[in-house]
Amino acid sequence: MKSAPVTIKDIAKALNISISTVSRALRGMPEIHPDTRSAVMRLAEEWDYQPNQLAKNLAKSRTKTIGVIVPNLSYYFFSAMLNSIEDAAIQAGYSVLVCQSNESYLRETMQIQNLLRSQVEGFILSLSRDTSNCAHVERLIQKNVPLVLFDRYADNMAASKVMVDNREAAFKATEHLIENGCRRIAFLAGPPQLVLSNQRLAGYRDALTKHGLYMGDQYVFHCDYTQENTLMQTLALMSLPQPPDGLLTVSDRIAYPAMYAMKQKGVRIPDDVAVVSFNNEPLSSLFSPSLTSISQPIQEMGMETVRLLLRQLEATDGPITPETTVMPTQLVVRESSLRMKSADFLNGVLSS
Amino acid sequence: MKSAPVTIKDIAKALNISISTVSRALRGMPEIHPDTRSAVMRLAEEWDYQPNQLAKNLAKSRTKTIGVIVPNLSYYFFSAMLNSIEDAAIQAGYSVLVCQSNESYLRETMQIQNLLRSQVEGFILSLSRDTSNCAHVERLIQKNVPLVLFDRYADNMAASKVMVDNREAAFKATEHLIENGCRRIAFLAGPPQLVLSNQRLAGYRDALTKHGLYMGDQYVFHCDYTQENTLMQTLALMSLPQPPDGLLTVSDRIAYPAMYAMKQKGVRIPDDVAVVSFNNEPLSSLFSPSLTSISQPIQEMGMETVRLLLRQLEATDGPITPETTVMPTQLVVRESSLRMKSADFLNGVLSS
DNA sequence: TTGTATGCGTTATCAA
DNA sequence: TTGATAACGCATACAA
């Protein structure tokens, strides 16, 4: 039960002028007489006039709005990315409509549909865990809807992408474990359809192979990102006849429960098992032991994502060639992987 | 560069019928001839017609949309609340527009403004940390805009609210510490303008007073929810001439860095300092020691929040009297506060 | 400097 | 069962 909001028509009627004059005054067009303008402004102020954005957008056939769909805002990485994306978008005069897919393919397609109906001018998208079929995204591309994927993308799609070099990062992380004396290194991966997880798996294999430690994927277990599942996979891992002495996890969200499960089993970290992970959430430094993790330049990734989208949004002559930006990562070493106290010992192992 | 989307006008022209017929067919009105309907549907399907939501909303003067503003989606509590709110809203046929205030009063007022312009029909709001002046919310109330506050609300506002009994919960938590042998109990509170923090403070005082342990607020320190600040406050707390032997924190997000800082200082938890907190984030069970925390019924709170809003949205005769729902909490006891191994010893202390 | 008229894509109220 | 036509609130080309 609220009274009808005031419109430019109300103001025009009250001031006995035309609605176009009110419209122009409100928008600060230069041709308006100062007296007229101030009268309009005064009344608008007094009545707390709020322009109807729907009508505005409809009239201009533009919304200056971009749709952002992420799997889950409770993951630090995604909510941080959202903040960065929002800042960059606002800076460029765009506003943002946020949706979560809740890791569901169905929900993802529905959100795309909804945003499309809401006339967003472009999409920033990170695929859900359950998305293996990408027809819904392909449809956007076919329609020439500006689109940038980040982090969770799919291969073989003619879309702009922003990501880190997952393979290289995993290689780096795995080699760090090897340098710290690990010989049987396990990988708690994400679901098999996650490209990012597979790339990290590849980097993990690369490092093991390079150091003559690769023995098939017997130490690779897939997690579905739930706490319960990770606890189970970790226990399974530790019950292997030859349990691992090093662990790489695809995300801090996987590492936390994994470390918990190991500690419960009396496994000492890093002495029995050294752990390295991905994402470098702020909380990772607060765990005990603090967690070594690959950090991604979230701030820059958000800005770059928006930049690639703006390129498409503001292109005047036809569709633009998709562009992929690979951002650097950084290994942040903490207690969970620093096994050796002595640099000499470290060097000894490496040269042996 | 995308081609103009297809409209009902396009379909009408192609089928040589009127736009009203197309509109009716698309919306499944019963009076349409089956042949006409199927022809329309076929073409709509083929051309992937997407109704323009802006135009739809403008024409109906209804958006069936509610605006949700929270301080920060990276807090577990808020992103979980959002999920619950979204589910309940969708169920009731509403969609949700989400914004973050980023704990800024200015941003909060801007978001309200934006959502108002976007014609949301009601608000669900949790105030930012920096919001002490509530004129912006009062203005909504005056305009009879349906509104429900949750968790972070302000006193003396004629709005519907959903929250937990913070005072009682803090009392319960503090008494739990006392029962576990703590005698000098500190409270890491939130900013002084946070009502919720002050209520918890009151409950903390109640419990101390009841047990003859209250010695003024020398053990009360205020945090601003950043990690750095919490680390500092904790160190200050532990440097007191008589450091505390029990700690209550206003949020798990405060407890994590506090526990970290104490552990760094060699303080043993719970033996030297027992810790109890608020929110019961899923991660709290994974920390070592695992964190005792007050849990709030997030799922139910979200549903209740939406229920109270719907009551206002669907009221036909004038504004509705604001309603406040206080939800129950639960103390989830974990390692961080379980100091005594023996029940006999525990009973001994209590009866002494 | 201001007003008139038209359009944005839909819904809804009349007639037919 | 269908079709004109007028809203919805605003922007804008063109006239005045």
Which residue among B2, B80, B116 places its CB closest to the CB of A145?
Answer: B2
Contact status of B53 with chain A (Cβ, < 8 Å): yes
What's the Å distance between residue A59 CA and nucleotide C4 C1'?
Answer: 17
Query: Which pLDDT score is estimated for B346?
Result: 46
pLDDT band of residue B287 (cuts 50, 70, 90) is very high
Q: Over chain B, what HEC string results?
A: CCCCCCCHHHHHHHHCCCHHHHHHHHCCCCCCCHHHHHHHHHHHHHCCCCCCHHHHHHHHCCCCEEEEEECCCCCHHHHHHHHHHHHHHHHCCCEEEEEECCCCHHHHHHHHHHHHHCCCCEEEECCCCCCCCCHHHHHHHHCCCCEEEECCCCCCCCCEEEEECHHHHHHHHHHHHHHCCCCCEEEEECCCCCHHHHHHHHHHHHHHHHCCCCECECCEEECCCCHHHHHHHHHHHHCCCCCCCEEEECCHHHHHHHHHHHHHCCCCCCCCCEEEEECCCHHHHCCCCCCEEEECCHHHHHHHHHHHHHHHHCCCCCCCCCCEEEECCEEECCHHHCCCCCHHHHHHHHHC
Residue B120 has pLDDT above 80, yes or no: yes
Look up the CATH number of the domain holding residue A54.
1.10.260.40
Query: Which pLDDT score is estimated for A1?
Result: 54
Pair A339, A309 in one domain: no
Pair B196, B337 in one domain: yes
Pair B194, B292 in one domain: yes
Residue B317 has pLDDT above 80, yes or no: no
Residue B138 has pLDDT above 60, yes or no: yes
Query: Which pLDDT score is estimated for A257?
Result: 98
Query: Which pLDDT score is estimated for B320?
Result: 87
Whether A80 and B74 lie within 8 Å, measured CB to CB = yes
Pair B225, B344 in one domain: yes
**Quick one: closest CA in A to B145, which residue?**
A2
* Protein residue with the closest CA to the C1' atom of nucleotide C2: A21
User: For residues A187 and A205, what is the distance between their CA atoms, to the nearest angstrom?
Assistant: 10
Which residue among B54, B260, B317 places its CB closest to the CB of A57?
Answer: B54
User: For residues A73 and B98, what is the distance between their CA atoms, to the nearest angstrom?
Assistant: 11
Nucleotide nearest B56, CA–C1', reads C10
Look up the CATH number of the domain holding residue A318.
3.40.50.2300
Whether A286 and B82 lie within 8 Å, measured CB to CB = no
**How many angstroms separate the CA of residue A152 from the nearest CA in chain B?**
19
Whether B260 and A286 lie within 8 Å, measured CB to CB = yes
- Strands of the sheet containing A246-249, edge to edge, are A220-222, A185-189, A246-249, A274-278, A292-295, A330-332
Contact status of A288 with chain B (Cβ, < 8 Å): yes
Pair A81, A224 in one domain: no
Pair B266, B346 in one domain: yes
A200 CB contact with strand C at below 7 Å:
no
Query: Which pLDDT score is estimated for A344?
Result: 43
User: For residues B271 and B346, what is the distance between their CA atoms, to the nearest angstrom?
Assistant: 14
What's the Å distance between residue A323 CA and nucleotide C14 C1'?
Answer: 54
| pLDDT tens digits along B7-48 | 999 999 999 999 999 999 999 999 999 999 999 999 999 999
Residue B343 has pLDDT above 70, yes or no: no
Which residue among A1, A52, A100 places its CB closest to the CB of B319?
Answer: A1
Pair A102, A241 in one domain: no
What's the Å distance between residue B89 CA and nucleotide C1 C1'?
Answer: 49
Pair B174, B320 in one domain: no
| pLDDT tens digits along B170-214 | 999 999 999 999 999 999 999 999 999 999 999 999 999 999 999
| pLDDT tens digits along A55-92 | 999 999 999 999 999 999 999 999 999 999 999 999 99
Query: Which pLDDT score is estimated for A155?
Result: 86
Query: Which pLDDT score is estimated for A4?
Result: 85
Contact status of B316 with chain A (Cβ, < 8 Å): yes
Query: Which pLDDT score is estimated for A347?
Result: 47
Pair A155, A245 in one domain: no
Residue B272 has pLDDT above 50, yes or no: yes
Pair B6, B114 in one domain: no
B62 CB contact with strand C at below 7 Å:
no
Boundary of a domain, candidates B43, B60, B77: B60
Pair A66, A176 in one domain: no
A to B CB pairs, distance under 8 Å: 122
Pair A26, A140 in one domain: no
Whether A58 and B55 lie within 8 Å, measured CB to CB = yes
List chain A pLDDT tens, one digit each, 352 residues: 567 899 999 999 999 999 999 999 999 999 999 999 999 999 999 999 999 999 999 999 999 999 999 999 999 999 999 999 999 999 999 999 999 999 999 999 999 999 999 999 999 999 999 888 889 999 999 999 999 999 999 888 999 999 999 999 999 999 999 999 999 999 999 999 999 999 999 999 999 999 999 999 999 999 999 999 999 999 999 999 999 999 999 999 999 999 999 999 999 999 999 999 999 999 999 999 999 999 999 999 999 999 999 999 998 877 889 999 999 999 999 999 998 654 444 444 444 3
Query: Which pLDDT score is estimated for A298?
Result: 98
State how many domains chain B has.
3
Full residue range of the structural domain in which residue A37 is found: 1-60
